[in-house]
């Protein structure tokens, strides 16, 4: 309300895990197959580079002042160079259909599904197909061989509260790391709502692009914060990071077309990759929240970093993903807010990395 837009025609509560690894459980379930450069008029900024461009044909009346378009800083790639000795198609083929069918059957009667049933189903797919891999899940803990180059980060139901209320923003999220870096990802998003449920399946593999239901996708090219739609998330604990993000929510609400809070990190990141929102950020996430989504965003042409602008890995405690074009501009607000949290002694060290797990981080 109170905004005028003129456009020209061209225009879950985390589980705690022990660092001690355990042997793979033996469970007899059916086997499933699833499938820069600076121009002369550029000026340096703390969180990137900004240059002045000719006037634009679009105008937006808000409390904000139109921002200049940042000439993108070169942020580090977070994806693996490859999927290693296992072909990407083989990794991506292990975990799509089974969990989708389980949730779809229960979505209109959500209290009849248990975490254990879904977790066992998802995890078993990995165990049956790759018994020598390591698996880290929100509900299942850490199982498998910690000396493996492969680590599966699994959230069997991202957006639990949404699921319980039949609110269409939840997903099954699986990211596979190779030597600590995202190599393959699948997110099955449940869309629609009661009486009209459907799914969108997002996939990505290192160096091979990102796809939605088999069609290649790309992040948006929106180049001004004032024209962007943003997404964030809030944890259950009302600590300093939560309060800081409330302030960021307020600030970006004033200078963008809106900030949404949907409640499922993997879904939010897939929406950035799909090009329907421009960015997503959140503090205090876990590897299973991020491992799939960050790769899908990067393979869709987006950018991933920590919320202080530093190099990201899936064991970090914060994430900012964007269409890439706006990344530095968003960090002009998000970066200093995060530095203030560090100044208060808030821990931003790596959250958790399985003991003995080999990485190239």
Longest dimension (CA), the chain: 65
The more confidently predicted of residues 151 and 12 is 151
Q: Give the list of residues 6+ apart from residue 94 with CB closer than 8 angstroms, or none.
A: 32, 33, 34, 35, 125, 126, 129, 130
DSSP single-letter state for residue 228: -
Q: How far is it, in rounded angstroms, from Cα 177 to Cα 320?
A: 19
Task: Name 26's Cβ contacts closer than 8 Å, sequence gap at least 6.
Answer: none
| For residues 124-131, average pLDDT | 74
297 close to 279: Cβ distance less than 8 angstroms: no
Percentages (nearest 5) of helix, strand, coil residues in the chain: 25, 25, 50
* Residue 113 confidence (pLDDT): 54
- Least confident range from 136-140, 294-298, 355-359: namely 136-140
What is the predicted pLDDT for the residue at 33?
37
pLDDT at 101: 63
Residue 77 CA to residue 73 CA, distance in Å, equals 12
Domain locations along the chain: 218-343
Q: Comparing 225 with 6, which gets the higher pLDDT?
A: 225
| pLDDT of the residue at 69 | 41
Tell me what the pLDDT averaged over the chain comes to.
Answer: 79
List the structure tokens of 328.
């530095």
- 128-156 residue pLDDT tens: 788 889 999 876 678 888 889 999 998 88
Token look-up 């977070």 returns 78
Q: What is the DSSP string of 28-71?
A: ------------TTEEEETTEEEE-----S-EEESSS-PPPPEE
Beta strands per DSSP E along 96-166: 134-137, 141-144, 150-158
The CATH number of the domain covering residues in 218-343: 3.40.190.80
CB 152 within 8 A of CB 136: yes
Say yes or no to pLDDT of 14 above 50: no
CB 308 within 8 A of CB 338: yes
Share of the chain above pLDDT 90, in %: 54
> Is the pLDDT assigned to residue 24 strictly greater than 60?
no
177-198 pLDDT per residue, tens: 999 999 999 999 999 998 899 9
Nearest Cα residue to 75 out of 272, 291, 313, 287: 313
Tell me which of 78-92, 116-130, 264-278, 332-346 is least confident.
Answer: 116-130
């Amino acid at each position: 309300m109170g905004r005028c837009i003129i456009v020209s025609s061209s225009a879950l509560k985390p589980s705690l895990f022990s660092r001690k690894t355990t042997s793979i459980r033996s469970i007899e379930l059916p086997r499933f197959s699833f499938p820069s450069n600076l121009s002369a008029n550029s000026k340096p900024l703390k969180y990137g580079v900004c240059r002045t461009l000719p006037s634009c044909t679009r105008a937006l009346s808000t409390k904000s002042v139109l921002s200049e378009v940042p000439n993108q800083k070169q942020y580090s790639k977070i994806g693996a160079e490859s999927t290693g000795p296992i072909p990407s198609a083989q990794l991506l083929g292990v975990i799509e259909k089974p969990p989708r069918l389980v949730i779809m059957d229960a979505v209109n009667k959500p209290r009849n599904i248990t975490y254990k049933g879904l977790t066992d189903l998802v995890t078993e797919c990995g165990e049956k197909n790759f018994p020598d891999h390591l698996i880290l899940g929100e509900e299942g803990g850490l199982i498998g061989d910690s000396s493996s180059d492969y680590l599966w980060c699994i959230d069997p139901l991202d957006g639990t509260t949404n699921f319980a209320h039949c609110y269409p923003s939840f997903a099954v999220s699986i990211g596979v790391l190779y030597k600590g870096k995202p190599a393959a990802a699948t997110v099955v998003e449940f869309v629609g709502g009661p009486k009209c449920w459907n799914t969108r399946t997002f996939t990505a593999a290192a160096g091979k692009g990102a796809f939605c239901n088999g069609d290649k996708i790309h992040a948006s090219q929106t180049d001004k914060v004032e024209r962007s739609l943003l997404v964030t998330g809030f944890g259950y604990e009302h600590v300093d990071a939560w309060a800081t993000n409330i302030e960021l929510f307020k600030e970006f609400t004033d200078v963008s077309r809106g900030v949404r809070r949907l409640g499922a990190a993997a879904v939010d990141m897939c929406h950035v990759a799909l090009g329907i929102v421009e960015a997503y950020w959140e503090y205090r996430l876990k590897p299973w929240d991020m491992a799939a989504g960050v790769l899908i965003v990067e393979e869709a042409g987006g950018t991933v970093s920590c919320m202080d602008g530093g190099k990201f890995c899936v064991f970090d405690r914060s994430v900012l993903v964007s269409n890439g074009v706006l990344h530095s501009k968003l960090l002009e607000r998000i970066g200093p807010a995060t530095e203030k949290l560090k100044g208060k002694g808030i821990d931003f060290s790596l959250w958790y990395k399985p003991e003995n797990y080999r990485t190239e981080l």
